[in-house]
A and B are shown apart, each in its own frame.
Chain A
């Protein structure tokens, strides 16, 4: 029998600025787990495990103060001077796996997320998403981040609607991170249904030859950070995923690796002890190239500079992402003519259009990722700016 235990404390705060009843604060303490019998029967429970299990996790450490979070959220809404709804979630606690031959040391969990919407004066709702490790308070209090959002909102208010079609483009680092995550990361994850074998994908070209990607749970500054995954598999280093545009590695949980006779890559991740681990990215890192972003815009000559994408989605071989803000480039210069709306659409080989890769890779500040009914806060993507010969935008 295997035992998955979790004990944690969560904080949820919703805020729409200031005023009576503008914020709601929730503090939740959870202890529970899942027992999996040899024949596969599962039992989910709350409270400490049965005495026969003889394991008890320590009480969770103190988490964020909901009052401080509510104040920081209200200050952010005040700063933007637009109607907004923000929702903050943080979880601190410990997880533990125990089995017939395995007792893994308790693993600390400390993750947070802020998500929400700001209503631009034009009526367009602009999504907000930040997430990562430890506490989100420093991010919420960062005037630089608030200022960045304010500038985006202002630009969206003066933007024209996107027209569908294919256009040459430079993606800013945060925008390219979304396409790398959807097109490369999810394609490299082994299926969570272990009866499906996707090894035939290995050797496929899925990006331009300047693109190389690896996955690393211990990447410096990564939004994910763990030495042992939720299957109890120790991380032995980074996993090479794409070498010069060709898929050379897959991300495996213990079950998916066993199903294809492969090696687990410490990518078995679960949103909570109640759910089975499935193959998920940890920190997907796209290696930088040699060209500055400014030079790429000059080389683009005419096309779109994509500042922000959001709401990335992939299913099968299709990917898409919402265009929040882009800007026309003319004669190698940004014009200040902004464009909003529409979706980037394409197949998982959308990055085969990459012709130049920027010289600086940065982690995206949104690491939320939902898959198979499990939402993780800490799926990091580190990517440089990229120039694409064509990017398809649909309505």
Chain B
């Protein structure tokens, strides 16, 4: 995940809720008006059968209030954002939520209030250890974002009122540019590969790591040792790739950023040193992951229209 300094801890466990509230739903308002009217009629008429009817409605109102409040007691929450957030793309993450004691919490809706359009419905949450609930975020624009308030709401049991609790879960994130079509390497200044011989030259062997390409597996060694082994190719001879973004160019500014991001993420640039040249900002070519993320962040935090 690309984060802007200073970064908040990756996951912030919710403190006890700072705010609580309730909102009467439209059905609840209608129910309340009906109940008050019926109470008046009942008291004025003294009809005991009406007292029976109105008693049930009163119990429902009281139960709705009591159970609805208790339903949100003792909740704890943590946000687990995915590693990379791209503008305009769904990002899958999770909420880690737990309930302390009591009965099952029912019909919970978890929302990130400050962006991300994250909304998760949780039909039931048993009390006990934390449960991870899959969630998705969607951000419309690149750039830095400060996520803070998270709300859990519920209309249980009868939908007469919506109760909610809110936590402050501060988290600074950088939404990366939507990856566009990668730029052809030949067009990049200093682009082109150093030659097939140089690129194919094996520098070392190492154990397989998640994410390694199958074509890098060194099958003879793997078969011989019984362990997956991949080759490390010599890339030091490859010239660096320079990503040039210029607001004065013919290509729209955002498209330049988007294509630069796509180029950075393209597998064909993997292992090669990539640098960035932008008005007033230059990042020297680096081939490691940290350097690549710095580039992504730099692209994401470029001014909207310089």
**Same complex:** no
Q: Which residues of B come within 8 Å of A, CB atoms?
A: none
Q: Which residues of A come within 8 Å of B, CB atoms?
A: none
